[in-house]
Structure 1
């Protein structure tokens, strides 16, 4: 139950609310997937107050993993944490997405997140049939992942309305950063759970009606984003806004250097009991100068 924060949609059997980090995939020194460290990170965010975890999202580098590696990650995380696991299963192909969804269900995932197909242009009917096929294939809730800047495919409000009517569709994670689109999507589809997918819009997402916060910053500082959510839910608006300002600063610091290098570098800076390793090529880690500046920024914020 929530007090001042938006409630999850009535069609969401998991009642997703609060902070849901898009957890990282750890790699060992050889560059192979490290299931133990991947689980350790998922447990770390859960211990920090996350209500659920989302492995194999963008931060999980899902598009750079083989099918077998993706299955290993889902198996490990589903078996390794006590909070709900909503596994990323999206691919450009409906057939492959269904196979990943069926596997996730079979190994104990509580729900699946399916990014819109990417590379090929997708029309409204294709989008609707894609999600209908996934939802009919599994008995766990299906969440749509909307990130048109990466997929090249934006869902129209009309398409989302048709998808929302499909049995088994429980919610949507929106990383479009299109506030008018998100506001209208929430207004038109009250049965769905909506999750804000950008750290730049955590507080704003709650204001719009998002029940969940899928936060990359929460991969490193789960307690910070949980505090923001809890303050908002308690009606402490000024405190929640202050914490959003801190999240802005952390986000800016972690965005320095190569794309997505900040999260794993910041985890190393925190000097935790596990090592998630670097990123998979062609993604790159921060160089020494960027790492030192990141560490100085986080220290100035009293976070390390």
Structure 2
């Protein structure tokens, strides 16, 4: 079974105790909620504060996620700007029952096309599992070069791209470059557009707080019903980005009683969500929609 057989992956938040340690019980509970909804789980992506966590905490997350015997695939985030560290991280994860890796464009350095190809090839060669490449220039400072797709499309471990540039035009250009590679939208609100342009699914922030409803949203979008969903889901997913991600998601998860507190690693803080009523209203709207349509 390929990771591309799963149309929805939740970019999972990482719940913490007040002292900043990983809240392992909350982590397990969140993963089980995703398993019940049939959603794949991505741990230690940007929504999971993967770059802010100490290495030992990251190891705890992977150990816990891989020990739960869930039926859905587990994907592990790989990101940074030190190649050796990323290779060592992939090699560490090989000992656990995880299904794939998410490989993000190198951060901060703004490498050119050939540098990107060399970076991704090194990681793909190291991995013994399927990989999804991640284009998110708003976070990394550089856009994934089409040369990466052209040069690496035949690599046995390269099966998918998470496209989060926010540009339908870029997405279409990437698809022309690598016609056999599967694409996922990295933007909840843009899924209706991406699905009409042939994407395979979604890597979602919204499914943290609405696991079953987001699963249905993805199914309907992939079934051609995206346009009718756009107004509601655009408004409600925008609420989850009313502050820096994953701050609003953690605030709402805490409000729903799904995590014990809203603790984040600096420089993120829950103080950047000033009006929780926006989140509560979005939650009510999505819950109502799901109740009426499930």
Is it true that 1:282 corresponds to 2:267 in the alignment?
A: yes
RMSD: 2.2
TM-score by length of 1: 0.87
CA distance in 1, matches of 2:23, 2:134: 25
TM-score, reference length from structure 2? 0.90
Which deviates more, 59-68 or 243-252?
243-252
Among 160, 179, 184, the residue aligned to 2:173: 184
Gaps of 5+ in 2: 290-294
Q: Match for residue 76 of structure 2? A: 87
Q: How do residues 184-203 of structure 1 correspond to structure 2 at under 5 angstroms?
A: 184-203=173-192
Greater fraction of residues in strand: 2
CA drift of 1:258 comes to: 4.8
Q: Specify the alignment match of 1:265 in structure 2.
A: 251
Aligned with residue 7 of structure 2, among 12, 18, 21: 18
Q: How many residues align?
A: 288
2:284 maps to what in 1? 299
Give the 3 Å change call, closer, same or farther, for CA 247–49 of structure 1 in structure 2.
farther
Give 2:109's aligned residue: 120
Deviation, 1:302, is 4.5
**Matches of 1:13 and 1:300, distance apart in 2:** 34
Tell me, yes or no, if structure 1 residue 253 matches structure 2 residue 239: yes
Structure 1: gaps of 5 or more residues: 1-11
Match of 2:292 in 1: none
**Contact 2:42–2:74 under 8 Å retained in 1:** yes
Equivalents in 1 of 2:146, 2:56: separation in Å? 35
1:189-243 CA-partner distances (Å, limit 9, x unpaired): 122221100112111111122112011111111222211222234x4x34x3333
Change (3 A) 1:288 1:253: closer
Task: Give the corresponding residue for 2:51.
Answer: 63
Compare 163-172 and 16-25 and name the one that shifted more: 163-172
Q: CA deviation at 1:182?
A: 0.7
